[in-house]
Amino acid sequence: MTGASVVTRMEFLPVLFMVAGIVLVAMVTLFVSSLLRQSNPYPAKNMPYECGMDPAGEAAGGRFRVQFFILAILFVVFDVETMFLFPWAVVLKEIGLVGYVEMFIFILLLLVGFAYAWLKGALEWEA
């Protein structure tokens, strides 16, 4: 082992401490909240809608149409993918033409995925 490799490994020590601290805080928070909370389950509390009117009709069955989930997943996917455009725009001068072309290939793939979802009817909301 050379001195340079030890220095590079030591640079990640603060990251390791931060991850360990986050995990420790999350575990302590969950443990303390399990000790302090009240556990009082009863049938009315475990209903799908705890307050207001009792569920009736389609809501009483507890099933939602698949289109709702597909649309929600597509929204999350495209929303997260478009977040990659902001860092790209910030470093556009530094990455040059190669990064410019790669981002347009990325956008083209997003458009292909969008067209596929549209043609499959995933964006249609039928009543």
Query: How many domains does the chain fold into?
Result: 1
Distance in angstroms (rounded) separating the CA atoms of residues 18 and 16: 5
Residue 57: the pLDDT is: 64
User: What residue numbers bound the domain in which 74 lies?
Assistant: 64-127
Single-letter residue type at 39 = S
Q: Is residue 38 part of a domain?
A: no
Instruction: Please provide the DSSP assignment of the chain as one string.
Output: --HHHHHHHHTTHHHHHHHHHHHHHHHHHHHHHHHHS-----TTTTSSS-SSSPP-THHHHT---HHHHHHHHHHHHHHHHHTTHHHHHHTHHHHHHHHHHHHHHHHHHHHHHHHHHHHTTTT----
In a domain, 47, yes or no: no
CA distance 103 to 77: 17
Reading the chain (127 residues) residue by residue, the pLDDT tens digits are 555 556 677 888 888 999 999 999 999 999 999 999 888 878 777 666 655 666 666 655 556 667 777 888 888 888 888 888 888 888 888 888 988 898 899 889 888 988 988 888 877 776 5
Is residue 30, in this structure, part of any structural domain at all?
Answer: no
123 residue type, one letter: L
Domain membership flag for residue 103:
yes
| Domain annotation covers residue 87 | yes
Among candidate residues 56, 40, 37, the one with its CA nearest the CA of residue 48: 56
Q: Is residue 14 a part of any domain in this protein?
A: no
Domain-located, residue 35 = no
The CATH code of the domain that includes 124 is: 1.20.58.1610
Q: Is residue 127 part of a domain?
A: yes
